[in-house]
Amino acid sequence: MSRMCFARFVATMALVATTACTGSRPPPPTNLPAPTPSTTIGQGDLFNISIVGEKELPGEFRVQPDGTVDFPYVGRTMVAGLEPQQIVDTLKKKLVEAKILMNPQISLIVKEYNSKRVSVIGQVTKPGNVPFVEGMKLVDALSSAGWFTSIADSNHVILTRPVSPQKTITAIVSVDAITDGQQADVPLQANDTIKVEARVF
């Protein structure tokens, strides 16, 4: 075989290998239900509260283990299990009842949902739980866990989602296809589990 023919042969084999590799990627998951929004406040969550005209009040609050925050003028207030707007309404009512403010204009912004987690286990640099934030996607969670180890199978990542207290759904996702722009990233929800297994050599 001439040198030119050999070069063409090698190029052809490389193209075949690339095509085969791309074709072996699993398609986007179709059995995975859309994420269920979860914005209720829980233990350890951190949020900011601002009241128009009351710049001297502390703005940052972390939910204590008993589910409360210590708010100026009204004391301990149970917030765990409430939506942000429900917390605003509760504080408004307490401030008016205590005759502190007549018509308080309150806004609340959640900074950290520490009560909501996504588990990332297996072949990642920092396995464990990562804080969940609304809008988080699969690549975000993997990045928070330090990304893949050198032996990770990034082409077959296992994503398990609870859909009820007794039922979960599992899907196989190719992160390679996502990072190559061939598939869309996968939105996550609180309590999803991501498992990365080692490649089969």
Length of the chain equals: 201
- Tell whether 86 and 131 lie within a shared domain: no
Question: What is the per-residue pLDDT across 51-95, written as a single tens digit (0 to 9) for each?
Answer: 998 888 878 999 999 999 999 989 999 999 999 999 999 999 999
61 burial type by CB count under 10 A (0-12 exposed, 13-18 middle, 19+ buried): buried
Q: Are residues 107 and 133 in the same domain?
A: no
What is the structure's pLDDT at 4?
Answer: 43
The CATH number linked to 82 is 3.30.1950.10
How confident is residue 2, by pLDDT bands cut at 50, 70 and 90? low
Give me the pLDDT at residue 6, please.
42
- Token pair in block for residue 190: 């609180």
Are 131 and 147 in the same domain? yes
- Judge if 151 and 84 occupy the same domain: no
Beta strands in the chain (DSSP E): 46-51, 60-62, 68-71, 75-78, 106-112, 117-122, 128-131, 157-164, 167-173, 193-196
Which of 73, 93, 112 is the C-terminal boundary of a domain?
Answer: 112
Of 80, 112, 144, the one marking the end of a domain is: 112
Residue 147 in domain: yes
Q: Is the domain of 150 the same as that of 97? A: no
User: Would the pLDDT of 179 be above 50?
Assistant: yes
Tell me the C-alpha distance between 197 and 129, whole Å.
17
- Does 3 have pLDDT greater than 70? no
Give domain status of residue 68, yes or no. yes
Count of the separate structural domains present in the chain: 2
Q: Which domain-ending residue is among 112, 134, 164?
A: 112
Q: Is residue 51 part of a domain?
A: yes
Judge if 99 and 128 occupy the same domain: no
Whichever domain contains 190, its CATH number is: 3.10.560.10
pLDDT-derived band of residue 8, with 50, 70 and 90 as boundaries? very low
State pLDDT tens for residues 12-47: 343 334 333 444 899 999 999 999 988 899 999 999
Q: What is the pLDDT of residues 127-145, one digit of tens each?
A: 999 989 889 999 999 999 9
Residue range 150-178: mean pLDDT, rounded: 96
What is the band of 108 on the pLDDT scale with cuts at 50, 70, 90? very high
* Residue 84 domain boundaries: 46-112
Look over the chain and give the mean of its residue pLDDT values, rounded to a whole number.
88
